[in-house]
A and B are shown apart, each in its own frame.
Chain A
């Protein structure tokens, strides 16, 4: 493939409850109509790897936006904002869903949109992706990268911010789902991935799961040497782009 030129910038989007926040938006240059992708950041924050990932997907031909889910914490470095959010118990699901929906709307409002929008998320963003697939309409493709807590074994993990286990909403999922998981991951465990797949299968959902030996959590993340697995990541990215090509054009 040839890599298109791209334009990337920080933009303002109107998220949940009308709050205005920052998002990183990268898209191919030119006038071609392209599919859109919302990148849901991982729990550590809106960090350099997430920004790079947003550009990577744009390089593959998609208008890609990643909302800064911690923007309500104010200004500060990604790690400091992430620490504050962690100490506060995370961002409410309703807020994240509102922000993701707003970014989908943002993408479809752009003149380069072909009308298709996918959602991909990593770590907690993988869980958010699964949840978005069950709660939001108008998604054309879902990619859950090692989202933990889709299956909730400890009821104490449910609270006002995360009141429902996403697995319990699977019936409502309409978009095709790609799931990528490391077999050494602790959250989700291989068993939890199996149980998620069993529910998807039972309900007749359109999904494909890929599991990688020798990989744990966040194995795409080249900035974290203990987690990164080059071979598995390369194969995983191929599957992501093949999936997007099929469902987003």
Chain B
């Protein structure tokens, strides 16, 4: 396709970046197009970056459409089982504000 269509997801968290160092991430650029490296005609590509820090470093994945759909399913399953295990009470402790503080303290 070679389009410039990019979906942006706002994130809060960390990713293990270039050089094996952890980095903050605040954005996922998501697109379905010809990949750079994966030997696929089209791939679901995600670039995890931190726009607040200039967005110059990234953690990138290029996976097949089928892989992406399975990943979506497994993320939802993991979240569901996590909710069951940790209970709704965890929402207060691990609210976005709380998580932000915890992650920020790592750097």
Contacts and interface: CB of A to CB of B under 8 A. Distances in A.
Given A224-B39, A227-B41, A84 B55 contact: yes
Contacts of B41: 216, 226-227
A8 B9 CA distance: 42
B2 A83 contact: no
A30 interface: no
Contact residues on A (Cβ < 8 Å of other chain), bracket:
20 to 34
Given A80-B58, A216-B41, A89 B4 contact: yes
Contacts of A217: 1-2, 34
A118 interface: no
B37 interface: yes
B6 A187 contact: no
A176 interface: no
A146 to B, nearest CB: 9
Interface string B28-47: 01010010110111000001
Interface of A is mostly: loop
Interface residues of B, number: 20
Contact of B31 (A86, A224, A225, A226): A86
Contacts of A232: none
Interface of B is mostly: loop
Interface string A27-68: 000000000000000111101000000000000000000000
Contacts of A155: none
A148 interface: yes
A179 interface: no
A90 interface: yes
Interface in A204-235: 216-218, 224-227
A80 to B, nearest CB: 6
A18 interface: no
Contacts of A19: none
B39 A225 contact: yes
Contact of B4 (A90, A186, A216, A226): A90
